[in-house]
Amino acid sequence: MKQEHIRKICSDPKRLTDHIKQKLNARKPQDHLYRRDVSFTPAAVLFPLYFKDGEPYLLFTRRTDQVEHHKKQISLPGGRKDEGDQNLLQTALRETEEEIGLKPADVQILGQTDRFLSNTNYLITPFVGVFHYPYPLKINRAEIDYLIEVPLFYLLDDKNFEMKVVEKSDVPWVLHYYYFGEEIIWGVTGFLLSNFFSIVFELNRNIFKADEKKISSD
């Protein structure tokens, strides 16, 4: 999909939300598992989408150094499934409210992207939801250091995106990096973003194995 067409879709809130909903509901979510011989913990995250001055944004969190996994990394709000959660959507919404104070009733869910197995063995189910801005968000300081508001167009621009091949335990990994000022979105959140953009905007970023495409590691 050409950038001009993407900008046209994104210029109108209803058109964008309808487009995302249609794209996500038209396909069956897939599983991206880097290995299949491990047990995993179910988890879920939310892509919090909103419109500010007519422009679409995504909201991210910078994790504290007090959390168990992915300390100080930029993440989407979410976490592992609790026994009391009826489903993974409830997990994503509950964790989002606990982390940033966004109430489930104030989120319109547009759909689900693909599931990813993290290197900490969490099988993460991502949901996309839109909420109205401004909103009285409240940060859980034990888990979240601060919030990061990123314009959607910035993330879609290839100039702010990079893929690198790295080796870990003799296994080549393709890592996805998104640069926003001094902030770097990478790790599983980078994978989730690339998958979301590839599904919704037909970008060629759904590359997770080193043999799928020759990628420079420079």
DSSP assignment string, the chain: --HHHHHHHHTSHHHHHHHHHHHHHTS---EE-S-SSS--EEEEEEEEEEEETTEEEEEEEEE-SSSSSSTT-EE-SEEEPPTT-SSHHHHHHHHHHHHH---GGG-EEEEE--EEE-TTSEEEEEEEEE--SS------TTTEEEEEEEEHHHHHSGGGEEEEEEEETTEEEEEEEEEETTEEE-HHHHHHHHHHHHHHH--S----BGGGS-----
pLDDT computed for residue 37 by the predictor: 81
What is the arithmetic mean of pLDDT over 108-127? 95
In a domain, 161, yes or no: no
In a domain, 183, yes or no: no
What is the arithmetic mean of pLDDT over 181-204? 96
Judge whether residue 36 has pLDDT over 70: yes
In a domain, 53, yes or no: yes
Q: Percent of the chain having pLDDT more than 70?
A: 91
Range(s) of the domain holding residue 106: 3-156
More confident residue, 111 or 142: 111
pLDDT computed for residue 218 by the predictor: 41
Judge whether residue 35 has pLDDT over 80: no
What is the arithmetic mean of pLDDT over 142-157? 95
What does pTM read for this prediction?
0.93
In a domain, 187, yes or no: no
In a domain, 181, yes or no: no
In a domain, 58, yes or no: yes
| Domains: count for the chain | 1
Mean pLDDT over all residues of the chain? 91
Judge whether residue 16 has pLDDT over 80: yes
Dump pLDDT digits (tens) for 75-84.
Answer: 999 999 999 9
In a domain, 30, yes or no: yes
In a domain, 162, yes or no: no
Supply the CATH number for residue 61's domain: 3.90.79.10
pLDDT computed for residue 217 by the predictor: 41
What is the arithmetic mean of pLDDT over 27-49? 92
pLDDT computed for residue 169 by the predictor: 61
Judge whether residue 174 has pLDDT over 50: yes
